[in-house]
């Protein structure tokens, strides 16, 4: 009985201790941090959304977005900006670490932040729209170009005005692709402060007033705040990794090879499974990217031609057409998108060589099979060796594969026990000659 009381008492004390610890943690100010590195795409949109919701739910003083990006998709950028603007917690965009940049879409995200900060030796700018321009050098129509630029300029001016930042510089970043270092950006009132690292930034944020949506003013209390990192989940990391033009193209290529191997060697299963999974992942990846549907159709046509070659054996006609369709489709797969979304030409060359090599092997196998004379039934006996049982003078009997055959010698008398070679078949009679 005493032991039970002691156990209950220990449990009560433990629960009280946990409760006190939880209360202390809840009273300790903290800031949440997410890291956005790489091109801006829909996967990052979901990550930023999760970061903001977490910061709102756990009572963080602010959400710090560590940003390093060369740009990305306009639609994804606008989704992130909307989340920042509508956040119920102050969002601090911190261009870091040293050497990082906030280019193109990154400029809009930084300007939209409640507090914009840069680390030493970083840069911001060059937000001129580059999508919709084919290969990055060909120009869109003048009317369309003017509409796109005017829309982007108005959007960034609105964001800058909302936070009292330099609207003229923001507009020039869109219209003239101007850029600035962290010092220049601070002097031009593009950002609010410079901080060498996160602890310094958290200390500098203390006491700063931030205006949220609906003119709600919040005073940041970050003195001694704990920094809580919110990393990407494993699935988010994986999806972000495959939402890359080169990875998408590689997955599509693996799918093509896997399906072709399965068709050429039915029953292997593994290549077919790998090909099917790669194809589904490729579809997901391409769905995240600004693809040219003409390029996708050409690649699908190439796959169809390769499969047609395996099923019908056109001795290279379908393969030649498939290689041409594959190369052209690969080159225009992301035509009309930003130069950030391009497939490496060396990857295209490597994939084309591998697939062409595989198809050449298949064609050679098919040609060899067609060149071999078909031999079935009795014709298969021609060239085989038999043993004489009854002397051939010239007619006698030979033994072949457990059977006795009537044979006629075309090479004189042949004694029993000697071996002969079958030269031809006349009905049920073998014509043979003495084996050399």
Query: Whose CA is closest to 335, among 143, 146, 138, 142?
Result: 138
Residue 423 annotated as catalytic: no
Residue 415 annotated as catalytic: no
Report the alpha-carbon distance of residue 229 to residue 220 in Å, rounded: 18
Report the alpha-carbon distance of residue 315 to residue 337 in Å, rounded: 38
Instruction: Return the SS3 of 156.
Output: helix
Query: Whose CA is closest to 338, among 95, 77, 154, 158?
Result: 77
CB 217 within 8 A of CB 21: no
Query: Whose CA is closest to 122, among 194, 199, 37?
Result: 194
- Give, for 142, the enclosing helix (H) or strand (E): helix 142-162
In the set 96, 104, 133, 285, the catalytic residue is 104
From the CB of residue 84, how many other CB atoms can be counted at a distance below 10 Å?
Answer: 22
Report the alpha-carbon distance of residue 48 to residue 38 in Å, rounded: 13
- Residue 393: both structure tokens together: 């003078």
CB 115 within 8 A of CB 92: yes
- Residue 222: both structure tokens together: 């970050």
CB 384 within 8 A of CB 283: no
Query: Whose CA is closest to 392, among 415, 369, 370?
Result: 415
CB 291 within 8 A of CB 333: yes
Half-sphere exposure of 207 (CA within 13 A, CB side): 2
In the set 37, 147, 233, 423, the catalytic residue is 147
Query: Whose CA is closest to 95, among 126, 77, 68, 70?
Result: 68
Residues designated as active site: 104, 147
């Amino acid at each position: 009985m005493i032991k039970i009381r002691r156990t209950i008492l220990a449990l009560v004390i433990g629960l009280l201790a946990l409760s006190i610890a939880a209360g202390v943690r809840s009273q300790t100010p903290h800031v949440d941090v997410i890291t956005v590195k790489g091109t801006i795409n829909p996967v990052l949109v979901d990550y930023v959304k999760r970061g903001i919701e977490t910061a709102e739910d756990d009572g963080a003083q602010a959400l710090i977005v560590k940003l390093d990006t060369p740009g990305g998709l306009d639609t994804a950028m606008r989704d992130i900006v909307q989340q920042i603007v509508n956040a119920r917690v102050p969002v601090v965009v911190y261009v870091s670490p040293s050497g990082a940049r906030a280019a193109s879409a990154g400029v809009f995200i930084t300007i939209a932040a409640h507090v914009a900060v840069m680390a030493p030796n970083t840069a911001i700018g060059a937000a001129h729209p580059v999508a919709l321009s084919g290969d990055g050098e060909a120009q869109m129509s003048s009317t369309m170009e003017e509409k796109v630029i005017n829309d982007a300029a108005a959007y960034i001016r609105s964001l800058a005005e909302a936070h009292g930042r330099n609207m003229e510089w923001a507009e020039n970043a869109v219209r003239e692709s101007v850029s600035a270092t962290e010092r220049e950006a601070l002097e031009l009132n593009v950002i609010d402060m410079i901080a060498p690292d996160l602890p310094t930034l958290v200390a500098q944020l203390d006491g700063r007033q931030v205006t949220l949506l609906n003119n709600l003013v919040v005073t940041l209390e970050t003195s001694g705040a704990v920094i809580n990192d919110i990393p990407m989940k494993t699935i988010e990391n994986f999806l972000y990794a495959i939402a890359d033009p080169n990875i998408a193209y590689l997955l599509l290529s693996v799918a093509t090879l896997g399906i072709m191997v399965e068709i050429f060697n039915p029953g292997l299963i593994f290549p077919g499974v790998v090909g099917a999974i790669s194809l589904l992942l490729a579809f997901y990846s391409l769905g995240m990217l600004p693809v040219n549907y003409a390029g996708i159709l050409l690649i699908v046509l190439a796959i169809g031609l390769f499969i047609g070659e395996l099923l019908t054996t056109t001795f290279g006609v379908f393969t030649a057409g498939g290689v041409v369709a594959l190369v052209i489709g690969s080159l225009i797969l992301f035509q009309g998108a930003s130069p950030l979304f391009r497939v490496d030409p060396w990857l295209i060359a490597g994939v084309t060589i591998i697939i062409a090599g595989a198809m050449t092997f298949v064609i050679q196998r098919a040609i060899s099979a067609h060149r071999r004379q078909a031999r079935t039934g009795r014709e298969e006996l021609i060239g085989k060796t038999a043993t004489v049982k009854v002397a051939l003078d010239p007619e006698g009997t030979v033994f072949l594969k457990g059977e006795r055959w009537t044979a006629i010698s075309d090479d004189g008398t042949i004694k029993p026990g000697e071996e002969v070679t079958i030269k031809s078949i006349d009905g049920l009679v073998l014509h043979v000659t003495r084996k050399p």
